[in-house]
Amino acid sequence: MILFSYWRSLAAFRVRIALNLKGQPFEVVSTDLIKGEQFDPEYLKINPQGVVPALKTDDGDVLTQSMAILEYLDETYAEPALMPTDAMARARVRSLCMILVADTHPLVVPRIRKYITQDWGHSEEELGAWMGNWTKLGLEAVETHLADDGTSGTYCEGDQVTLADLCLVPQVGAAMLFKIPLDAYPNCVRVFKACMENPAFFDARPQAQPDFPEEMK
Ligand SMILES: N[C@@H](CCC(=O)N[C@@H](CS)C(=O)NCC(=O)O)C(=O)O
């Protein structure tokens, strides 16, 4: 399979973890979001939305949207299952995923950042406040669920890695990369650390990607 990815894309990070967990080899094609390669006509033929990730299967089919890709992989490659069997637990997992994927991450993607600074003329400092605000609100909501629902174990939902962990780890990793203090989110950090002990997560991290910038190493 071919994964159109970028080292610091949280959405691509989710998919890299899933491919690793499922033991599916993949080739990474880097799409530099800072240079605007997501808008190259050739890339737009792959993903008309102009975002990563996109996954080209061995049959040549192209999938977009990380949650759709995660579900496809989970439905196609049975082991290890990334969703619980119990309906209530499945709903809880999806709820955590949506807090991060639908209500947090979209507020901090490059096109939003560009709109805030280049179109609306806000400063880098104001942009930092914007990014910090939405990241903190998202993590705060997940933290409260993990602390109060009584269903979190080693991972977000019990002791099984689920799609919720695949969504939480990139968000916590990004907060670390951008030096957002995480003291207020001990459960999120606990789950992050447990996941990172698994090579499937560790090898998918931005710092391990071939396009991770030399100057940040
Ligand atoms: N909801 C999409 C989000 C895709 C997305 O926004 N990806 C970001 C990187 S994490 C991107 O490619 N942004 C390009 C841009 O904003 O110009 C998904 O989960 O796949």
Q: What is the pLDDT of residues 168-211, one digit of tens each?
A: 999 999 999 888 999 999 999 999 999 999 999 999 999 999 99
- Overall pTM surpassing 0.85 (yes/no): yes
Section 1-5 average pLDDT: 98
3 state SS of 160: coil
Q: Is 172 touching ligand 1 by the criterion CB < 6 Å?
A: no
Q: What is the mean pLDDT of residues 59-85?
A: 98
pLDDT in tens, 108-158: 999 999 999 999 999 999 999 999 999 999 999 999 999 999 999 999 999
Tokens of 33: 């979001």
Average pLDDT, the chain: 97
Domain residue extents for the chain: 2-79, 87-202
Residue 86 CA, ligand 1 centroid: distance in Å:
31
CATH of domain 2-79: 3.40.30.10
Query: Using a 6 Å cutoff on CB, does residue 160 contact ligand 1?
Result: no
Q: Which residue has the tokens 């579900």?
A: 71
Instruction: For 87-202, give the CATH class.
Output: mainly alpha
In terms of Cα–Cα distance, which of 74, 23, 12, 72 is closest to 47? 12
Number of the ligand 1 atom closest to the C-alpha atom of 6: 9
Closest CA to 210 of 5, 2, 1: 5
Beta strands of the chain (E only): which ranges? 2-5, 27-30, 54-56, 62-64
Nearest in space to 66 (alpha carbons), one of 56, 80, 45, 52: 52
- C-alpha–C-alpha distance, residues 159 and 149, integer Å: 14
Ligand 1 centroid to 4 CA: how many Å?
11
35 Cα–ligand 1 center, Å = 14
- pLDDT of 216 reads 85
